Structure 1
């Protein structure tokens, strides 16, 4: 009986994984020596669930929060090759590309500060520099709402979790090449191979090379990305996984700041879409290297202990060119702009150790789940500044610059401008109690100790805090396939910025609430969520400064550091999302969000964030021609604005339409065509600040994919 049950488990897991493993063959032959080994390796590989909003292994239907998942097939079909493009199409998420190489993300009105890989990671900032490629990942999950149980810090926006491509039990692979307008060239390779006959050890190698010019004058981006992961079984219940990932991003002709889009008479400027303020000597290069080691102990059928260590080295070097205007840009002459060059070298090392125990137990006639663990993390960062000895000057009339108006400056030797050492330790736990077969109670808590020792241009940024974030959630399956839910979490979010008194601003605190309902169909899920967040002392940029209290009017040193103020913000809204099949031939992933953001005076807050958004990814595979696949993407947002010292900068509502088609020429070869911004919509990438630049016009890419 026991052997029959075990055989059934292997067969079910193999069926779910969509593969036939060597384990099944060995088992049917009665190879008992390798039997338990193959059970474990198959089960772990076929059932890799990342920790979601509660930290527990629960699918989207049972999670008491909004959850969006974009898988590798969707990423490939719609050409979502970098994180910005992918998050642009994720319901409820907004992408603020304030510059060519620096991006902010927000959800539910607040900045997303947590970017995880396989459920491991801690928030060390809100700003992403450079392009992050998505080809390394099997899927990307976006958990919206308070994330205290998985990060230890209760930011109410959400968490982005990148799920790595891991080795598979059988030989598999693909190669893809693509070309497009604006000099786009891209090559991808993905190979997974068992290292032993039994499949107990396997490796996966993933690589990308990408190069592209741009619609934007002078701008170019080259990217070299790769990873290797080895996965194996040490004993019948002990597994090990080790991996290394490399993302090398090089950009030339970059924007630091953007276009001056408001004149000093209050009128908004309108430029050609390729207009840039950069000089042709500028660059912004980043290198991210990440290594991880994961040990998994399958204690028994119900309990698993996982220990993960992650080490990340990040560096960036840049030579940049900024423009500003003390008296504003004159609408008649195009004069009034001043130059400010800069050269910086940044280094950051992050280490995260996480030990996590997950399991289930039976009590009161029901099965319950539990998750507990501890995390120790440290981030050491240094920023070196090279003072520009030349290059400060009044600029000629704008636009019409050619990129050689200011020669590459002479830079001084590097000096340590800022450093930041962050230690964050936490313990956490959550439990799902099945009070009845249809009613679940989820309870969670974590305790965090946070220390920051730092200095920014001679001003101390030290802080030492501790706090906790309780979590309460309930799910109630009212009818078969209909789940109502509610959740609450405290907010505790350290902020690594200076206040108006040049002291640490301190933490943002508050509360986050969400109620909703989810309807599960045979191959799809419909969800509706209503949320509310109350947050106090949230950082809001106020000004740059150098500490002398003087508003310089010449080529100033006023840009030494940023000064923030704390504001109180209330956010509430509603989200709806559908994922899955519409018919036998149509698949849809779509969502819409309505948002309200108010400050302590009841006025609109963070007006650069759209209040209404809608996004759609639609795929069609006609039954009459199964070699053809086609699809359409659409994203829409309403008006946004930014109030500058000279007047309001507006971006009206807009919609961006994309199309794709793929045709399987022969069994292993598929040709595909992707078009984005089909209607050539002209719009700003962001109005988060008083400078802005234009998003991509119509783009076209043709690709050929070979299945190995």
Structure 2
């Protein structure tokens, strides 16, 4: 396993302090060498959310809540999967990460597609550096390679203040690797079971003498077979970013991430009519050699961050994400067998899902003094547009027969009559704010919320258009610090989920509101 080669200089401030103290100590020693004073040097590392090269399985801070806070300051259940842990446990896909995260379960749709659940609900939204995108079957599993990530932050429970609308399950924030000033290079090659080949290269460093301009490139190729005959996945990932310090307090970063690949889908083996499992080899594949799932994702982003003189922070980020999944398959059985040697009917179909997400978010966070205590106020606004289409069609012929015990994968590829069945655009505009009051030296009260305007436009049927006006989702929390390391908290959060179902009179149902007390 390759070892990380990037190292940050955490002790520079302490060394400088020690040098100053040594100079003063030398002068005093010259005056009275028989009575030397005690010199104590105390250094403290700056708390940063970056986990790369820390050697830690936890993080000082998380950015899943619109601003950088420690876990101790966050009154919800949050887990952080760091770069160190991903390296040590060889987590190369998002599936590897989420299946090893506390409180997360998954439901598989074959070896290359899954949905993930928390608190009994599906995680329907993910965050890329804090900006939300819909998570769709077939994309959340293989299409986010962890080689480009510094950490994965997982929040369990409603996340209305963070993502706006959605299920009360929680959210997953994928925090990308950042360009570093010091030069670093690492590469890794691996080989595993079922002919799994993987190669990585990661290079970063300053692009000018001053270090104000920095860059980073990550490239990955992953190719592996499966224990099921003829099933495979192949992915290529490219990620590049540039960062430039306009001033010592202002940084602009831009970049792109491109991942493309293909796999052979497999929807598993059927059960017998009596409910028992088939008594055949688990490697049996009931599809055809023409079965394929093509996937691609392209992300373009730009970010500006400015540190205020009073310790506050202003951040604006814009994301544009294009995704497409094209699945052609012949493994989905539609008849129920009675014995291990039956012929079953296989449904041949193709589905194409183009999706596009555009998002912009601006956040201001600033401390202020009141009654001898330091408090914090955060305010922000976001706008999100999601466009999604579905094109679906059965093959000609629509059904073929396959023997359970002796399937033939050499069946000819049918023609597909693919038609557009869905063309939907949703927009969500939000204003949010949060106030953190240090009511006592060891007690913090948090109050805030988000107001959202949501609308959906069906391009195929205008009677399905509907909107939600000024939906408010509150957020309240109380944190008591037992000591410097341990705190206890209580919180109340809400989230809303729009509903497309209609009443008898044609009116759309009110959004589903879910609250959670922690």
Shorter-normalised TM-score: what interval? Answer: 0.7 to 0.9
Match of 2:126 in 1: 115
Give the drift of 1:183.
0.8
The verdict on how the C-alpha distance between 1:501 and 1:159 changes in structure 2, with shifts beyond 3 A counting, is: farther
CA distance in 2, matches of 1:449, 1:322: 42
Contact 1:154 1:489 (C-alpha < 8 Å) held by counterparts: no
Contact 2:113 2:137 (C-alpha < 8 Å) held by counterparts: no
Match of 1:298 in 2: 307
The verdict on how the C-alpha distance between 1:495 and 1:248 changes in structure 2, with shifts beyond 3 A counting, is: farther
The verdict on how the C-alpha distance between 1:157 and 1:43 changes in structure 2, with shifts beyond 3 A counting, is: closer
TM-score normalized by the length of structure 1: 0.62
The verdict on how the C-alpha distance between 1:240 and 1:56 changes in structure 2, with shifts beyond 3 A counting, is: closer
- After the TM superposition, which residues 7-406 of structure 1 pair with which residues of structure 2 at under 5 Å, given as runs? 18=10, 50-53=62-65, 55-123=66-134, 128=139, 131=142, 132-153=144-165, 155-252=167-264, 254-255=265-266, 257-261=267-271, 263-326=272-335, 328-331=336-339, 333-335=341-343, 337-393=344-400, 395-404=401-410, 406=411
- Matched position secondary structure for 1:80: coil
Match of 1:449 in 2: 453
Give the drift of 1:17.
5.5
Match of 2:30 in 1: none
- Matched position secondary structure for 2:380: strand
What do you get for the CA RMSD once the two structures are aligned?
Answer: 2.9
CA distance in 2, matches of 1:390, 1:433: 66
Contact 1:123 1:151 (C-alpha < 8 Å) held by counterparts: no
The verdict on how the C-alpha distance between 1:495 and 1:164 changes in structure 2, with shifts beyond 3 A counting, is: farther
- After the TM superposition, which residues 606-645 of structure 1 pair with which residues of structure 2 at under 5 Å, given as runs? none
Give the drift of 1:445.
0.6
Give the drift of 1:176.
0.4
Count of matched residue positions in the alignment of Structure 1 and Structure 2: 472
Match of 1:534 in 2: none
Match of 2:55 in 1: none
CA distance in 1, matches of 2:365, 2:220: 35
Contact 1:130 1:286 (C-alpha < 8 Å) held by counterparts: no
> Which stretches in structure 2 are left out of the alignment for 5+ residues?
1-6, 21-45, 52-59
- Matched position secondary structure for 1:469: strand
The verdict on how the C-alpha distance between 1:16 and 1:183 changes in structure 2, with shifts beyond 3 A counting, is: closer
Give the drift of 1:304.
1.6
User: 1:22-72, CA deviations, whole angstroms, 9 ceiling, x for partnerless residues?
Assistant: xx9xxx9xxxxxxxxxxxxx999979955334x343211221111111111
2:408 matches 1:416: no
CA distance in 2, matches of 1:154, 1:417: 23
User: 1:458-512, CA deviations, whole angstroms, 9 ceiling, x for partnerless residues?
Assistant: 7964331232210111001134433110011123122568999999776332211
TM-score normalized by the length of structure 2: 0.84
- Matched position secondary structure for 2:147: coil
The verdict on how the C-alpha distance between 1:89 and 1:270 changes in structure 2, with shifts beyond 3 A counting, is: farther
Give the drift of 1:275.
2.5
Match of 1:464 in 2: 467
Match of 1:590 in 2: none
CA distance in 1, matches of 2:499, 2:285: 32
The verdict on how the C-alpha distance between 1:249 and 1:460 changes in structure 2, with shifts beyond 3 A counting, is: farther
CA distance in 1, matches of 2:223, 2:334: 34
The verdict on how the C-alpha distance between 1:184 and 1:417 changes in structure 2, with shifts beyond 3 A counting, is: same
CA distance in 1, matches of 2:11, 2:85: 21
> Which stretches in structure 1 are left out of the alignment for 5+ residues?
1-14, 29-41, 515-708
Contact 1:154 1:469 (C-alpha < 8 Å) held by counterparts: no
Higher relative contact order (CA 8 A, sep 6+): 1
After alignment, is 379-388 or 446-455 more displaced? 379-388
The verdict on how the C-alpha distance between 1:127 and 1:407 changes in structure 2, with shifts beyond 3 A counting, is: closer
